Amino acid sequence: MQNPNSLKVYKFGGASVKDAAAIRNLVRVVQEQGAGSSLLIVVSAMGKTTNALEEVFQLAHAGQDYTAVLHRLVEFHRSVAQELLPEQAGEVPGRTPQEPGLNQLLEQLGDRLATLTPGDFDKQYDQVVSFGELLATRIVAGALDAQWLDCRLLVRTDHAWREGRVDWPTTERTLTATVLPLLAQGPIVTQGFIGGTASGLTTTLGREGSDYTAAILAYCLRAESVTIWKDVAGLLNADPKIFADTVRYPEISYQETIEMAYYGASVIHPKTIKPLAVRQIPLYVKSFLDPVAEGTKIHDCRHGLLAPAFIRKVNQCLVSFESKDFAFISEENLEVIFGALAQVRLKINLMQNSAISFSICTDFSAYRLDKLLATLRDQFTIHYNTDLALYTIKNYDAASIRQLTNGRELLLEQRTRQTFQFVCRG
């Protein structure tokens, strides 16, 4: 069943709302491209706000002085609001009296930081870092004169802090009951990246999770399509900030896209595709700088061999475990290692084992690595290298491998039929 309103979900990421000029451009894109459709607009935090919030949070949690970073963040949002909505003196009013306005949100953020307690790092992280999206959507909704909805009341998750798992039946029920009736009144703006628990606490869905939010909403509301508006021309075979001579895929299957996202192509959050594939909702990736250009259509399609895709994941850490008594790496040992990794929530990006050692490549997190070492130090000798990069070539050929490995010292490499991967220094 298609939604009778032919709902379109638009997602705008940090770069598309990085300042007042960017938000003005967003307004133009919405007015020109979205005219005549019911629109649900998902917005991320402005520019690098989430990083700044992480910094503020870490300082506050460690009991250090965070006021300078917080002040910059507050002033930045106030000044953008002031520029876009001068008649409201920097305040963006709530449409209903119950909804918090911009100044109220800024106050709530200050209060949260002032009342952090030691411990519960991940839980408190979510209560603080989620403010980036709340603030951004307040400003964007004001600029668009659109309805604002608090996504924490719409997307229900469990208590898996920083990677909330969606309670699909509850979310679908809530969204259908709340959002569908409002769509007739004009566009709706809501936050990406954040959800809420049954007990009213905020969760986040994982960094860069706003794409996933767009997919959750589209799935539950049976949207006609999702469009992710980006600063690139579509889904490219590599990140043009890193690699020269990129090519755009005009269309590509869900399956290929999932695999690219899984290997770390930062263009789309990995969890985004599945809900869309299940309900056969096409995903368009388009440029907010050139909104009429074709972009990429991700859908259920067949295509021939694709151009090799190059993916670089930085800030990687290579950890190797050796059994202390020169015993072989056994299933029993691996069980202990995997158990500890799951417990500290370090995800394996690549793994390899030899007789007496087992190596994994994982995203670097000092906090999680410390916990891992503390758990396993008694049983294993553990070495690790940081500041590494994991490169993946999907649909590789000899030339693409040569091109990428040339002049690099490979610390670990692995090849399957379609994929070539290696770890090297930054």
Binding site for Mg ion (CB under 5 A): 13-14, 44
Residue 236 DSSP SS3: strand
Distance CA 228, CA 296 (A): 10
Shortest distance in whole angstroms from residue 57 CB to ligand ASP: 13
Residue nearest to ligand ASP (CB): 210
Comparing CB distances to ligand ASP, the nearer of 208 and 322 is: 208
User: Does residue 308 belong to the site contacting ligand ASP (CB under 6 A)?
Assistant: no
- Which 3 state secondary structure label does DSSP give 406? coil
CB 45 within 8 A of CB 135: yes
272 binds ligand ASP (CB under 6 A): no
Whether residue 231 contacts residue 16, with contact meaning beta carbons closer than 8 Å, is answered with: yes
CB of 268 to ligand ASP, least distance (A): 10
Question: Given the complex with ligand ASP, which of 202 and 253 has the nearer CB atom?
Answer: 202
Reference 7, options 181, 233, 252, 209; nearest CA is 181
Measured between alpha carbons, how far is 398 from 406 in angstroms, rounded to an integer? 12
d(CA 89, CA 102): 11
Site string for ligand ASP, 45-84 (x = CB under 6 A): x----x----------------------------------
Stretch that binds ligand ASP, among 204-212, 310-318, 319-327, 341-349 (CB under 6 A): 204-212
Contact between 13 and ligand ASP by CB under 6 A: the answer reads yes
Q: Tell me whether residue 221 or residue 267 sits nearer to Mg ion (CB atom).
A: 267
Select from 299, 211, 206, 294 the least CA-distant residue to 256: 299
Contact status: 192 vs ligand ASP (CB under 6 A): yes
- Tokens 């649900």 belong to residue: 40
Q: Does 202 bind ligand ASP (CB under 6 A)?
A: no
- Indicate the residue whose CB is closest to Mg ion: 14
Token pair for 199: 């007990």
The answer to whether residue 157 forms part of the interface with ligand ASP (CB under 6 A) is no
Nearer to ligand ASP, 267 or 318 (CB): 267
Interface with ligand ASP by CB under 6 A: which range of 32-40, 111-119, 202-210, 340-348?
A: 202-210
Identify which range of 78-86, 165-173, 201-209, 251-259 contacts ligand ASP by CB under 6 A. Answer: 201-209
List the one residue out of 72, 166, 54, 196 whose CA is nearest residue 121.
54
Pick the closer one to Mg ion by CB: 13 or 295.
Answer: 13
| Angle of helix 210-221 versus helix 168-183 axis, rounded to 10 | 80
Cβ contacts of residue 374 below 8 Å, gap of 6+? none
- What's the CA angle centered on 374, arms 369 and 379, to 5 degrees? 110
Q: Total binding residues for ligand ASP by CB under 6 A?
A: 12
Give the binding site for ligand ASP (CB under 6 A): 13-14, 44-45, 50, 132, 192-193, 207-210
